[in-house]
Amino acid sequence: MRNFISVDDVQDLETLVKSALALKKNPYNYKHLGKDKTLGLIFLNPSLRTRLSTQKAAINLGMNVIVMNMDKEGWALETQDGVVMNHNTVEHIREAAAVMGQYCDIIGVRSFPKLVDKEEDYSEDFFNKFIKYANVPIISLESATLHPLQSFADIITIEETKTKPRPKVVLTWAPHIKALPQAVANSFAEWMNKADVEFVITHPKGYELAQKFSGKAPIVYNQDEALKNADYIYVKNWSSYEDYGKVVSMDSNWMLTNEKLKLTNNAKVMHCLPVRRGIELADEILDGENSLVIHEAANRVWSAQAILKEILEKNF
Amino acid sequence: MRNFISVDDVQDLETLVKSALALKKNPYNYKHLGKDKTLGLIFLNPSLRTRLSTQKAAINLGMNVIVMNMDKEGWALETQDGVVMNHNTVEHIREAAAVMGQYCDIIGVRSFPKLVDKEEDYSEDFFNKFIKYANVPIISLESATLHPLQSFADIITIEETKTKPRPKVVLTWAPHIKALPQAVANSFAEWMNKADVEFVITHPKGYELAQKFSGKAPIVYNQDEALKNADYIYVKNWSSYEDYGKVVSMDSNWMLTNEKLKLTNNAKVMHCLPVRRGIELADEILDGENSLVIHEAANRVWSAQAILKEILEKNF
Amino acid sequence: MRNFISVDDVQDLETLVKSALALKKNPYNYKHLGKDKTLGLIFLNPSLRTRLSTQKAAINLGMNVIVMNMDKEGWALETQDGVVMNHNTVEHIREAAAVMGQYCDIIGVRSFPKLVDKEEDYSEDFFNKFIKYANVPIISLESATLHPLQSFADIITIEETKTKPRPKVVLTWAPHIKALPQAVANSFAEWMNKADVEFVITHPKGYELAQKFSGKAPIVYNQDEALKNADYIYVKNWSSYEDYGKVVSMDSNWMLTNEKLKLTNNAKVMHCLPVRRGIELADEILDGENSLVIHEAANRVWSAQAILKEILEKNF
């Protein structure tokens, strides 16, 4: 593994999950790997779990960590080529990425989509350029279309808690008051499509994910039907892919409640966080015994550490 | 000691002061204690001394430190229970604290009061919930009503400089152009009430502190009278507790000057900083030989280190 | 060396360049020097290269690093003496610097000029006061008038790449849409004036640098003439020193292009970054083989590390 941007960067998913679980048992066994290696974490957007868990993972491996809030502490970045930079952007990604690559052995980057131009966001232009110019391994801390460290933590969580060989996993859309990226949903879908699970997606019409990510997963527009016999429910809001970046429904009936849980096989409930209580998920679920949300967040350390370990081993 | 929120968390004040002074002499004697332990520092408000001194203290103990400016780098937090989160807050403290508790062994938190609702601020709802949900030891980096690391540093400073067994210590209100929290004054009062000093409080009428913190300390409304024979003067502005959060006087006669120092027993002058020169304290005092303000600030390292050491020893 | 503010703080430039190149070969040879030493990096302005490279340099020397964005994470600083602080500034530099000096063994500070009052900026009042009150060694991370870590990295870069004993180095002004400080140009000039190079400055009339920094370097107002036989071209915008802080020309003919490169001895092109493409420098130059801009940025680690090493050796 050179970069970690999507599930396609993973050679063997099963082995990677095992590596993460082994690190969870013995976090400090590979401290020599990161000696005199520096991880740069570059944020163009807010972050809590990713910021803390990735630092922790790197420290566990003996790495040095330098954190930079590009938007607040650095310079506004230009990504378009051939442009005359006579407006707000102060530095081109060609220089910024190349320079950071001189100081860091591995770089993690978070850059959300603008949700204005579908083609631009889905081209992952920012990440592709960052990879091209930085010239060191790049880890996505969430890109315009994917959030692989989250999905990897999710699959670890399912592996740890499943009580049958091939559980039924339902990704359900949830209401929200703002237009959010599709990244977490896209990413969860592409990881589930590679996992040994029965995977179903449910959402109101108009919220279809890009087929590139949803793949062959059945889409069920009736949430109650989709939830039947579910072992895991992954709750997440996203804005429309088709009517790009728009909120085409805020139907509060889609909020998961204990009543809806009765339809399932006593399903475990997952969410990447942050979650809006009373909008996306009922308090009773988050405070109840079926919630795995804190468990998932805790596993972010081990997903990040497994990826960093793999990159350190294969590239240095 | 599990958490450090107020002087009530201290089992034996004298022993704790001795521990801090021992660490000041030999800062690196306990580096093994913090090995593979992570301190998270969460700021919801600005900080200079607390930010730097607590990091330094943790490093001296061999800990890893992760700093997070929650207000700028993370998500706006909801603290009310049962609320439908359809406004500005993005994440509930139930999730945020629980998640941080997964990544950190000890968490320091700074959260100022809003100075709008006395009951809310004085309930210390934010800290109580953070402690409840984080599930790891919590250190206050200043809460709505108290600033214990500051008061502990203040008492260390008095211990180091006193020239008689039971010095007279006067807490005096000072003018300011803004409405400030009562936290530093409350905290100093509750620590002095447990220390072996003659403690007196002076302020204009209307600035009475909550009796819970001022305790049995005599309140003298005439500053000149209060200052007589003082060995230490602790200068601080605070807004009204009774007329909650209001500035009920800006009387510049209350600013400490060299002229007023003449009333005292050549008193040492203390202030937690930042201080507004020419408003709270005269330049001549801050630049003079009686000022202990830098000495106090320096002792913030040892107060933080003694608390971290105690928590590491008792909880891990 | 106690402080590093200008080239005048360097005792022997040749030796210092050799020290930096030796560190570049063996970055971790002096890790014992920084043991239990803390570097504080205080930013009053944005920073990418300086922020990352100085952290990296300190880590390579085994130091602890504490970073603080004074403007965002701390308090607004007052620098004027004798002022009544009843406006926006919350803390005086006398206290702030003194306090930071208690927590850090060495402090790096970045503070840009306001470009309003020439006398104030060129007095370097902020840095002089910081040095006076902090009472520990101070490293400039760019002051109102100079950027010595950048110039030192530039001279290292020239030393590494020169193909003749005494190359011709041309500092050329470049257009920009904003009024920028003169610091990088001043600094480059004062370092080149001490180096074994043929140094020429070219800019439109009205952009003369302070003679204190430009020294005896010939000023050529015709860029084409200045570029003749140049081995190195240092491109940089700055605002007027005479008509202080003003943009007196935006003549786009001054932008360096491949056409202009033909006038030179196949000159290498340098720039401190960030650079506005299509305004200061043509894309074709930045993406071409003559550009040294990333090489320079990479050398920021070794300039910072050589300075930190020198200060650690001489002061502790």
Give per-residue pLDDT as tens, B108-153. Answer: 999 999 999 999 999 999 999 999 999 999 999 999 999 999 999 9
State pLDDT tens for residues A57-103. Answer: 999 999 999 999 997 888 899 999 999 999 999 999 999 999 999 99
Phi/psi at B261 (5° precision): -60, -30
Dist. CA C274–CA B274, nearest whole Å: 34
Q: Chain B within 8 Å of C84 (Cβ-Cβ)?
A: yes
Q: Chain B within 8 Å of A66 (Cβ-Cβ)?
A: no
Q: Which residue does chain B place closest to C133, by CA atoms?
A: B294
Q: Chain A within 8 Å of C149 (Cβ-Cβ)?
A: no
Report CA Rg, chain B.
19
CA separation, residue B290 to residues B180, C33, C134 (Å): 25, 37, 19
Q: Is A70 helix (H, G, I), strand (E, B) or coil?
A: helix
Q: Is C129 helix (H, G, I), strand (E, B) or coil?
A: helix
DSSP conformation class of A1: -
Dist. CA A131–CA B237, nearest whole Å: 53
Share of chain B above pLDDT 70, in %: 100
Q: Which residues of chain A have pLDDT under 70?
A: none
Is residue A171 within 8 A of residue A154, CB to CB? The reply is no
Which one of B55, B67, B70, B86 makes the best mutation probe of the A interface by having the most chain A beta carbons within 10 Å? Answer: B86
For the CA atoms of B100, B101, B105, B111, what is the dihedral angle to 10 degrees?
60
What separation, in Å, do the N-terminal and C-terminal C-alpha atoms of chain C show? 12
| CB count in 10 Å sphere of residue B247 | 18
CA separation, residue C52 to residues A56, A99, A101, A156 (Å): 19, 10, 11, 33
Q: What is the pLDDT of residue C57?
A: 98
- Please report the residues numbered 6 through 45 in chain A whose beta carbons come closer than 8 angstroms to any beta carbon of chain C: 36, 38, 40
Q: What is the pLDDT of residue A71?
A: 79
Q: Which residues of chain C have pLDDT under 70?
A: none
Interchain contact, C294 vs A95, CB within 8 Å: yes
Q: Which residues in chain C have Cβ-Cβ distances shorter than 8 Å to B278? A: 82-86
Task: Find the CB nearest A85 among C72, C277, C297.
Answer: C277
Q: What is the pLDDT of residue B72?
A: 84
Average pLDDT over residues B29-40: 98
Domains of chain A: 7-146+300-315 (3.40.50.1370), 150-296 (3.40.50.1370)
Interchain contact, A99 vs C48, CB within 8 Å: yes
Establish whether the linkage from the previous residue to C274 is cis, with ω within 30° of 0.
yes
ipTM exceeding 0.90, yes/no:
yes
Which one of C277, C280, C283, C293 makes the best mutation probe of the A interface by having the most chain A beta carbons within 10 Å? Answer: C277
Q: What is the least distance, in Å, from the CA of B215 to any CA of chain C? A: 31
Amino acid at C259: E
Phi/psi at A236 (5° precision): -165, 140
Dist. CA B289–CA A182, nearest whole Å: 63
The β-bridge partners of B107 are B40, B138
Dist. CA A175–CA A236, nearest whole Å: 8
Residue C151: Cβ-neighbour burial (10 angstroms; 0-12, 13-18, 19+):
buried
Handedness of CA A93, A98, A103, A109 (dihedral sign): positive
Q: What is the pLDDT of residue A72?
A: 84
Its pTM stands at 0.97
State pLDDT tens for residues B223-251. Answer: 999 999 999 999 999 999 999 999 999 99
Q: Is B58 helix (H, G, I), strand (E, B) or coil?
A: helix
Task: Find the CB nearest A56 among B38, B92, B98.
Answer: B38
